Structure 1
Amino acid sequence: MYDFAIIGGGIVGLSTGMALGKTYPNAKILVLEKENQWAFHQTGNNSGVIHSGIYYKPGSFKAKFCRDGCQSMVEFCQEHGIDYEVCGKVIVATDESELPGLENLYKRGLENGIKVKRISPEEVKEFEPHVTSVGGIYVYSTGIANYKQVCLKYAEIISQQGGELRLNTKVEKIVPSGNNQVLETNNGTFETRFVINCAGLHSDRIAKLGKVNPQAKIVPFRGEYYELVPEKRYLVKGLIYPVPNPDFPFLGVHFTRMIDGTVHAGPNAVLSLKREGYNKTDFDLHDFAEVITYPGFWKLAAKHADEGIKEIIRSFSKAAFTKSLQKLIPEVQSEDLIPTHAGVRAQALMNDGKLVDDFLIIHGQNTAHVCNAPSPAATSSIEIGKAIVAQIPQPQHLPTTVA
């Protein structure tokens, strides 16, 4: 009998396991992951950015968790010798029409308690010599990290705390048993007093297995990237972002220097025809049918038809993708770009066509379901884990540690 069982071995599931072990040192904790390694999906394919929290609505979980998580992630990397760098980033307007949006972003940064600075086009050049702009802001706290290393350290800590970690274990049924829950998997049956669903791309399905209405459906969006050839990496010193379109839920193509020194350009954002569809040709009939028959998807598609078409064009046209990047760095040419791995974002979408804009945690009988935790979940993972644990009723038989 376990006290807590966590479904999903990405960065949120592992951080939750770590937080549980710190809060309840005598608890029997189990983490189940269907793949053969930790951080296989969203976490292992993200951009590696430690986000500042500048984009998020003041007062939202995203804003608070990201701002606090930015600091706690840096401290965690320092403590455990994980590769990271606080390199800062520039957000630039490439057209006069974008200046009001840039100013709004600057004010939002201040509201969220983030250190930001307005910079002139000349000052932008001091940070990023090859960027052309009409103005920008500099965000001091943004950084980069190796999130796979972070996840492996989380797993190591859970193990040291006495937790049990199981890979290659897919949950297929959740069956109530008195006040407990029984998890039936392809690799055995496990009984637990409490279940925490951190299944990412499949979180809505796991919630339904637990007889909980997730209030939204996961719609997978593939983010496709190019990488600068080694001899052109000098064009990018750190992180370069455009002013995002306030009417579109994604940040736009940007340049990211990764912790290994490579420079990624992107992503665009297109509907994935499979929940774990990292390639254009990946297709799953069940996944596709779920999206295509969901009213919320068609409402979203109608609202963002123009931008959606641009994203699809960029997906199939390297020339169009390059043109988007040239708004930031005119020197970039098509031959400077080579395809690199894509990521898939698990985005919760409501029936009315609205994207769930914040982290979403839904509670059932002795269950908690993290039904929306896209970016900046990696940055915020330590804070999300602590928040999930704080929302769980304290088991009477388990003493807690003093925070």
Structure 2
Amino acid sequence: MHYRTREVVRVTAERYDCDVLVIGGGIVGLSTAYAITRAVPGARVTVLEKERRPAAHQTGRNSGVIHSGIYYRPGTLKARYATQGAAEMVTFCAARGIPHAVPGKLIVATGRAELPRLHALAQRGRENGIEVRELGPSQIGTYEPEVTGLAALRVAATGVCDFTAVARRLAAESGADIRYGARVARVSRRPGLGVAVRVERAGRAGAGGVVRGRVLVNCAGLHSDRIARLTGDDPGTQIVPFRGEYYELARPGLVRGLVYPVPDPDFPFLGVHLTRGVDGSVHVGPNAVPALAREGYGWSTVSPAELAGTLTWPGSWRIAARHWRYGAGELRRSVSKRAFTEAVRRLLPAVREDDLVPAPAGVRAQAVLRDGTLADDFLIREGPATVHVLNAPSPAATASLPIGREVARRALTMLEAIGGER
């Protein structure tokens, strides 16, 4: 598709602060800004990020895994973007000297009931074009001498990187006007007049201003549904935050690469796993427990308003009714280090309770539909002059480059339509 760059810039100068206004300075928002300026070099992009740095939440608080795409149902956006995005992410990091590695991973079955699921996972991986090797119990030790199981899959394409460094580089190379400490307070959208956003400056009472854009892109992650409602659009979902708690392995030599359990097909979390990062440390986790605030990185962080939003959403109670057994196990591992250690020992018998050192937690922005369905794929919806990224869980960081291009394509299509009317 060809975009009329000169017309975009001329109209912007007359009325608007920017062509595209992106809310959210995580890896998806910054990748979108990067993709827009690559597609239309004359386009003006402004990014509003409420924190004082990029990648402060989901992007900077995960295990840093470049996912291969083996888990995702063929034909979904996750499957397509993860396999494509993994290769692109490795290339992006290599070209810019960003720390990364591709050690591969094992997905290990520790019980007989998991064997059919492991085999089905191998088939799914092959359907997604991923090289998968099935291992017997004696072959597991070739890759991970301290890991035991009945069978395993070897996925060579899985890697790790520093996603915060990736986000910083995307910000630098995008050429966008990135405004940190800029919290969105109100949004006004009127036909033919674009979108106006009232901004409050962090830590400065009464400070702020209005930023006007022709098209708004909502990549606000944990607050994406709230931003959608501020624009007047009904997202049809509620962000229900789940905290993922991590430990770091005091004896990182126990693990060479990445080791995962066989995931529960009824729940969109991968279970407690072990990840050797680019710095040589090994992260263990996460579990998944309800957070009491959207940025609730510990049990002591509570937002009554956000918690009320979760509890009054019909889908939240349907999740609880459907998955209470699973949730009870996650809560037990949250409050009991011994229980967490037991979960790890299923994969790594040599680990001891004192091997686990607490590490920073993360919060997953899980979109939940009214009927209690956990949105399992990327969810991108459009309104008048708006594009909303309403669900971008793992592997969003892996897939951020192709996701950014897709969101950019939608925003630029809107922008071209507006330009065509003039």
**Correspondence for 2:377:** 358
Matching of residue 114 in structure 1 with residue 130 in structure 2: yes
The one of 286, 293, 297 equivalent to 1:278 is 297
Matching of residue 204 in structure 1 with residue 220 in structure 2: no
* TM-score normalised according to structure 1 size: 0.96
**Correspondence for 1:92:** 108
**Contact kept? 1:35, 1:169, Cα under 8 Å:** yes
The one of 177, 181, 191 equivalent to 1:168 is 181
**Contact kept? 2:215, 2:415, Cα under 8 Å:** no
Unpaired runs of 5+ residues, structure 2, are 1-15, 201-207
**Contact kept? 1:360, 1:371, Cα under 8 Å:** yes
**Correspondence for 1:266:** 285
CA distance in 1, matches of 2:396, 2:219: 11
- The one-letter code of the counterpart of 2:397 is A
Matching of residue 135 in structure 1 with residue 151 in structure 2: yes
**Correspondence for 1:318:** 337
Cα shift readout 1:56-91 (whole Å, capped 9, x = no counterpart): 111000000000000000010011110000110000
The one of 31, 40, 45 equivalent to 2:56 is 40
Cα shift readout 1:287-346 (whole Å, capped 9, x = no counterpart): 111111111011011111111000000000000000000000111010111110000000
- The one-letter code of the counterpart of 1:270 is V
Cα shift readout 1:218-274 (whole Å, capped 9, x = no counterpart): 000000011111xx1111000000001112221110101111111111111000000
- The one-letter code of the counterpart of 2:232 is K
**Correspondence for 1:76:** 92
**Contact kept? 2:297, 2:361, Cα under 8 Å:** yes
- The one-letter code of the counterpart of 2:184 is V
Pairs within 5 Å for 1:16-27: 16-27=32-43
Unpaired runs of 5+ residues, structure 1, are none
**Contact kept? 2:33, 2:408, Cα under 8 Å:** no
The total of aligned residue pairs comes to 394
CA distance in 1, matches of 2:416, 2:167: 30
Q: CA deviation at 1:129?
A: 0.3
* TM-score normalised according to structure 2 size: 0.92
Cα shift readout 1:132-184 (whole Å, capped 9, x = no counterpart): 1111010011000000100000000012xxx2110000111111244211111
Identity percentage of aligned residues: 48
2:41 match: secondary structure: coil
**Correspondence for 2:205:** none
CA distance in 2, matches of 1:275, 1:294: 14
**Contact kept? 2:20, 2:213, Cα under 8 Å:** yes
CA distance in 1, matches of 2:408, 2:353: 48
**Correspondence for 1:218:** 239
**Contact kept? 2:83, 2:128, Cα under 8 Å:** yes
**Contact kept? 2:215, 2:414, Cα under 8 Å:** no
Q: CA deviation at 1:397?
A: 9.2
Pairs within 5 Å for 1:152-191: 152-159=168-175, 163-179=176-192, 180-186=194-200, 187-191=208-212
Q: CA deviation at 1:25?
A: 0.6
Q: CA deviation at 1:390?
A: 1.9
1:102 match: secondary structure: helix
**Contact kept? 1:222, 1:270, Cα under 8 Å:** yes
Q: CA deviation at 1:394?
A: 5.3
CA distance in 1, matches of 2:189, 2:121: 47
**Contact kept? 1:26, 1:398, Cα under 8 Å:** no
Matching of residue 234 in structure 1 with residue 247 in structure 2: no
**Correspondence for 1:341:** 360
Cα shift readout 1:72-121 (whole Å, capped 9, x = no counterpart): 00010011110000110000101122110100000000011111111111
- The one-letter code of the counterpart of 2:178 is L
CA distance in 1, matches of 2:262, 2:271: 8
- The one-letter code of the counterpart of 2:301 is D
Cα shift readout 1:17-73 (whole Å, capped 9, x = no counterpart): 000000111111101100000000000101100000111111000000000000000
**Contact kept? 1:27, 1:398, Cα under 8 Å:** no
